[in-house]
Chain A
């Protein structure tokens, strides 16, 4: 008995500790904040479909990787905190399409976001226009030669004898036939002039044309670090955007709607919890109290898991959590009803609790299994972030509820149990139900 009560005490302290962790780590600067999805925090969710029909099958992965990098850089320029850019394969059901998911928290202007992402990196060669006799560059004039004509780019390192040039990263461009023609014409006509190389409108290198270059190979030596050179090579190799993309689905939620949804969910959850607690006390009395404590610990563990994994909470996810609160009571109800039956069968209280739990366990296990099956299938086949968010929270909820039923509810009930000798009418009453004699056939 002492051992059970000690365990119960430890469980209560642990539960309170978890609750404290959830409560105290709720500031903005905490290490484990709740993570809210776009429908709660406001933001834009974009799904692009990549047209990979022109990509050789072996290159698809690297093309998609390059696409993600290009878009990621675009998004970063956009100045969003914690953006998400990820590649997704739609699987057999979706016909194996290659997609790119872009999430922009806090961005609610869809058009602005789409525009920023749609702009593709651009490599241009522009001729410097010089002001009469002075060598000051006044302006650069477009030559019509762009990254579009680059067939292949590769990274090289300078091998010159001059110490300052040695091992400097170089980018070697191979133009396609049209690009080579243009490049030859430009370099032939403008020997001695500066040919500026622009990336996204910014000058990255301004070499002087020393002689006509007929073979369509250009070497760019900007002030590259090996990393930046590598990046540029990758971008150039895949053209501007490596593959054409098309916006197939978008969702934007205003911050006010998200905030309202969050507050409404919390209020709804609290009312639901209060109603359940009231019902448990009225109907089950003392065991009802135990169930409430178990339920509170259940809520605390769940919230802690949401923080630690972390689970991105959405409107549907919160609904799943609230639903799971209602369902988590089930295990307790099964145990209590069974215990009451054993009591009616004439067993002493302690034994009745023991038996009640033992017999209820099979039902608890089987019934939760069916919910887990549903949840896993939903997560697997759900397709949208909404459904996945719902399913994940739902499955976590069911698993935690099984855990709290076998640990918390059981231990607390046993700890409250009265020795068979000291059993009184009060104890039996406290373990009884609201309607005496009900259900006896």
Chain B
């Protein structure tokens, strides 16, 4: 296989004058399950083989993806990519260049304790069924439970015309668990996700009992919750919400392609954009975390990237293309969901660094506000406006946790809000999730508990 790929890639630079050419050949296997109230909708197993080519000709990109590893087809695909790049280059104002990097030769083998490709599908069904039983058995007001399960294993082989050769095992285990509860006219919804790159042993920690109870308990507690008041209030964010806030509100703006597209960070490099208690990282090296890997899909080693140090923006997340524009180093953030799509700058495990407050100290000074514990979804915009929907929240009254609150969401301007972070906790949690940017990436977000002096809370109707 290796020889064929090298031949195909070299052909692109020789025959079509490609300045750069790469191939990413993948063999992937997936097992998927969907359970609805314990009914196994279908047990699914699939195989996907394919290759993706990226070439740079006359300063423009050409990309081709084919679902085969057949030599003739691969050759055809890469010459197609070169011709397309030429066509695209006809209107180019600024030719694209890549920063020089050292070509890596490496083979990355994962050694899971429990390899999902070796766990019988019956066991996977039984794990998800056990989770279902915990949830539906928790309270008779829990009306429905949907569990999705996915494991992905395989290899990805990256070769470019600069001499890089990286063979890398892929391993992901993921599950999303949702439940609804109903009482009279009140409907509630609760969800959790599990995600790991270590192996099926993740279910020994996130056991069906622990996760099932977390999901069901929240759905039931929300039945008696009330909508929040709308307006600006002090809040304490839980690590789960800090994770999505850091990811959505700040992280996307620091993806250098979006920074260049006009995000509010463009003229803020080296400047203060947050209070000095805020230090943020995007880290691809955390062992077993859902956003970790060894090399990105451009062949750059992953790293722990410091983005904000004590309130000052010190780094962005770079591809070789954006690194060239900023005269920076690529950070190993170029990720492609699979061979069907091009790599783009994506986050890995993004978090705020813990400091020294206890949870009690954070809540203590608040007369009236909210404790936002767990998120439902979030979205950011280049103008710095963020929104995070909350699935679990509580009132804070005179420094103590009060009644539970449902369907809250927070919004604001990222920079204004980061300046209002006035105390950072000493605990730390990292939560798995998925991020969409035209394609899906597995990520984590997290941090400690954090206090924000004031943020806009969207109320109920």
Mutual binders A and B: no
- Interface of A with B (CB < 8 Å)? none
- Interface of B with A (CB < 8 Å)? none
